[in-house]
Amino acid sequence: MRHQYHPLGFEGSRIAQGFWRLQEWNMTSEETLGFIQACLDLGVTTLDHADIYGGYQCEALFGKALKLQPALRDKMEIVTKCGILLPSESRPDIQVHRYDYRAEHILASVDKSLANLQCEYIDTLLLHRPSPLMDADEVAQAFDLLFTLGKVKYFGVSNFTPRQFDLLQSRLDAPLITNQVELSPLALQHFEDGTLDHLQQHAVTPMAWSPFAGGELFSGSSEKAKRVQTILNDLAQEKNCEMDQIVVAWLLRHPAGICPVMGSGKVARLAAAVDGMSISLSDDDWFRIWIASQGQPVP
């Protein structure tokens, strides 16, 4: 009989911090530790990684910082991902940029993440992107083993369609706790393609990657970006706050309970985002942003 792993929903902070860009921040281990501490002080305890970030370097940079103060480990929830094979300098063994969800790869990837992060366990492991070759039964066996060994507490997916999510869920005893997908005022696709409806139906928390469209929301020069910037700027003036805070409020206003994964390495920006959680947007405000992004009135 399969082991029953924790049948609970998403256990994490209302907004999360991502470490995809950690290598670009050029921080010393002490500075990275300071940044991690600042996240925790702000109540942002869910910290998002992936094995491949920074060409397989970011988890280790984080781990080196955490080693300076290991007691912080239990004050955070570490999310990491596996499944993408990325040819890079540090992985000359990888020839083709592709996906791998064989049990052997999942297990080896988790061991590597644990070693790099200098942790005993991962809170949540996500399958990074769907693969046509994913065998859900084999993934389920790997998840069972990882849970039984105490290496991973919860499991989820990223960039999965509702059907792909359901297929994997059908082979698992415990609920997948998230589907991390791209959501921002410049990326409306998953608001409309059933992804958010499906997660809401199953009471699964969506995590939003690139909630500021990777910075495009503020610096983008496309017609769409400019339309959205105009509305964000108007709303920020009306509410006497910053444009990025309006975006956080806009994502949190959605009834699916979206958890945005913030991407800046600047504490001030994360602090502003946390403050943005208390801004309330009227439905008029929310739709002004929606309509600006769509470039046309709703039908």
Q: Is 53 a catalytic residue?
A: yes
Is residue 262 a contact residue for ligand NAP (CB under 6 A)? Answer: yes
Alpha-carbon gap, residue 221 to 213, rounded angstroms: 13
Residue 47: Cβ within 10 Å count:
24
Please report, as residue ranges, which positions from 229 to 248 form the binding site for ligand NAP (by CB under 6 A): 244
Residue 266 touching ligand NAP (CB under 6 A): yes
How many C-beta atoms surround the C-beta of residue 228 within 10 A? 29
Which of 12, 13, 15, 20 touches ligand NAP (CB under 6 A)?
Answer: 20
**Shortest gap between Cβ of 181 and ligand NAP (angstroms)?**
7
* Minimum CB distance to ligand NAP smaller for 48 or for 144: 48
Nearer of residues 7 and 215 to ligand NAP, judged by Cβ: 215
Give, to the nearest 10 degrees, the angle between helix 283-294 and helix 223-239. 160
Buried/exposed 99-116: b ≥16 CB within 10 Å, e otherwise? bbbebeebbebbeebbeb
Q: Which stretch binds ligand NAP (CB under 6 A): 4-12, 33-41, 139-147, 256-264?
A: 256-264
Secondary-structure breakdown of the chain: helix, strand, coil percentages, each rounded to the nearest 5:
45, 15, 35
- Tally: H helices and E strands in the chain: 13, 10
From 5, 53, 56, 101, active-site residue: 53
CB of residue 48 vs ligand NAP: minimum separation in angstroms?
4
Instruction: Cite the active site residues.
Output: 53
Query: Site residues (CB under 6 A) for ligand NAP?
Result: 18-21, 48, 158-159, 180, 209-215, 218-219, 244, 261-266, 269
